[in-house]
Chains A and B, each alone.
Chain A
Amino acid sequence: MGMAWMVAAGALGLAAVGAQAGKEPTGAKGARSELVEAQPPPFSEGIFPCSQCHDPKIAPPNRTRRALGFHADAGEPAAVFDHDAEHRWCVDCHDLQDRDVLRLASGDTIPFTRSYLLCGQCHGDKLRDWRVGVHGKRVGSWNGPKTYFLCVNCHNPHTPRFKGVRELGPGGGPGIWRAPTAPTLELLKPEPRPRRPEEDRL
């Protein structure tokens, strides 16, 4: 069942989420920024579009709730589903008919690049904070064009509690984490501690 979101490079390309730009802050003089982009969602390589396997013509969709693997057969890293697993399953978020989009509670479908709308259905407080820049990460200009990190750049939607992240691809370089990130199941490794005064004598 099509849910492997896992981490790895490759994505939708640089999918700009311009749709929300009008609602975003902010400029030096209160002018709203026109140029707001979001990082691409961190798909595994080759996993998208999902419909290359989940084709209704090949296998008719099955609405019955059941235990499913996480694409372990397709060479995906081991994954867990720990997101209110007792009450929820795949097609609460993924669209049953078209696997290349997500499905809101209203029945509307949205592309993966706007998954924050889906997350915000339950986590409205976080969505509100994210929109104004209080929650989450942004890079770019404090008074101009900036890039937002999506929820899924830091939280694995299938096991969303934050553990750690790693950088995808070039663009960041060591030290400056500008490149898109993907959530990992490992905690971050800290950089070296500062030297004690006695270790740093002239």
Chain B
Amino acid sequence: MKPRKGLPILRDEDAADAGRRAFLRSAAVGAAAALVGGCSSFDPQLRRHFRELSKEEIARLLERVKEENRRRFGRETRVEATGAIPGVEFGYGLDLSRCVGCRRCVYACVKENNTSRARPQIQWIRVLELEKERGVDLTHAEVYYETPTVPRPGKFYMPVQCQQCRKPPCVKACPTQATWKEPDGIVVVDYDWCIGCRACMAACPYGARHFNWGKGTLPAEELNPEQHFLGNRPRPRGVVDKCTFCIQRSRQGRYTACVEACPVGARKFGNLLDPESEIRKVIETKRVFVLKEELGTEPTFFYFYAT
């Protein structure tokens, strides 16, 4: 394949990217490879949609991710593709009257989810500093606030992350069906199928999707070895990623990293279909709102005031 000028993102491809890029460049080559891949070896780039794969095919896929982790980080990892728990729809509550804006959740998320630390710095949670006098007025939100101590007088804080909408505009916008909503309500991305067009980022009204402009930096010793195929496995360059309610944790019954990191207990997580769950108690007993309700995205992420 001759060298080709293009977006910087497409330069110096590594082996894992090569198949996909080649496919995009040449339909003929791609089709031929697909034929080969279909009958003999299992090419992760040219496989069918994730939800159409058999158990054996998924197992092979996970093996490939582990191998890639070994190659890239020199570490053994446990990569799973655990499915949704039947009878569960996840819901999230965030108590705006408690949040102090300390950003502990942001860094717990980064650590848990193997997001790139720098160039690009990817943080799935953005904490907005807002003025009490104005209320939730996003035109006066500040994410770059710096202060020795929080909270600052006259301010309140509103962390924003993926709202796991019931009608997710990002899913509609994706031209390759690389992102979809799982039965438990988590909107996931298949990083192998994402072509990096970023249409979903344009469609998301919450700024919850982030683009891996480069391979990024993720020190091997900070790699979280507990990984989910649709969640926190290290992302290749040129794909979109997003909050997955810590799919690798929540599907094993654990609280998300941000819930456990919050020093003020402002974050609530549970099963919307269980009337005894924390999130149901929040919805039933507190003043609850969703962000940008008027857009009809129907988030399953609820902000509330407990006082």
Contacts and interface: CB of A to CB of B under 8 A. Distances in A.
A175 B255 contact: no
A41 B145 CA distance: 34
A30 B257 contact: no
Contact of A202 (B213, B255, B270, B276): B213
Interface string B125-162: 01000000000000000011111111100000000000
B253 A134 contact: no
B278 A177 contact: no
Contacts of B101: 190
B278 A132 contact: yes
A186 to B, nearest CB: 7
A75 B264 CA distance: 29
A193 B146 contact: yes
Given A134-B268, A141-B253, A201-B119, A190 B150 contact: yes
A194 B85 CA distance: 34
Interface stretch (A4-12, A20-28, A97-105): A20-28
A176 B261 CA distance: 4
B265 A194 contact: no
B70 interface: no
Interface of A: 25-30, 32, 129, 132-144, 146, 149, 154, 162, 164-165, 175-178, 181, 186-196, 200-202
B262 A137 contact: yes
Given A142-B270, A177-B261, A178-B260, 8 more contacts: A26-B276, A141-B255, A142-B255, A142-B278, A177-B262, A187-B151, A194-B121, A195-B121
Say which size band chain B's interface belongs to.
Answer: 35 or more
Contacts of A189: 102, 148-150
B150 A188 contact: yes
Interface in B238-275: 250, 253-255, 257, 259-265, 268-271, 274-275
A160 to B, nearest CB: 14
A202 B263 contact: no
B275 A30 contact: yes
Contacts of B278: 25-26, 132-134, 138, 142
B85 A32 contact: no
Top 10 nearest A-B pairs (CB, nearest first) are A137-B265, A133-B278, A187-B149, A191-B103, A26-B276, A132-B281, A25-B276, A141-B253, A188-B102, A175-B108
Interface of B: 8, 85, 87-88, 100-104, 106-108, 111-112, 118-121, 123, 126, 143-151, 213-214, 250, 253-255, 257, 259-265, 268-271, 274-278, 281-282, 285-286, 306
A193 B107 CA distance: 10
A162 B100 CA distance: 11
A154 B254 contact: no
Contacts of A187: 100, 149-151
A188 B263 contact: yes
A11 to B, nearest CB: 18
A133 B102 contact: no
Nearest to A149: B265
Nearest to B254: A141
Nearest to A132: B281
B107 A175 contact: yes
Contacts of A140: 254-255
Contacts of A26: 270, 274, 276-278
Nearest to B110: A175
**Which of A26, A141, A165 lies at the interface centre, i.e. has the most chain B CB atoms within 10 A of its CB?**
A26
Contacts of A195: 118, 121
A180 B282 CA distance: 24
A27 B8 CA distance: 49
20 contacts: A25-B281, A29-B274, A129-B285, A137-B264, A141-B255, A142-B269, A154-B264, A175-B104, A175-B107, A175-B108, A175-B111, A176-B261, A177-B260, A177-B262, A188-B100, A188-B150, A190-B101, A190-B146, A194-B143, A200-B120
B271 A143 contact: yes
Contact of B214 (A194, A196, A202): A202
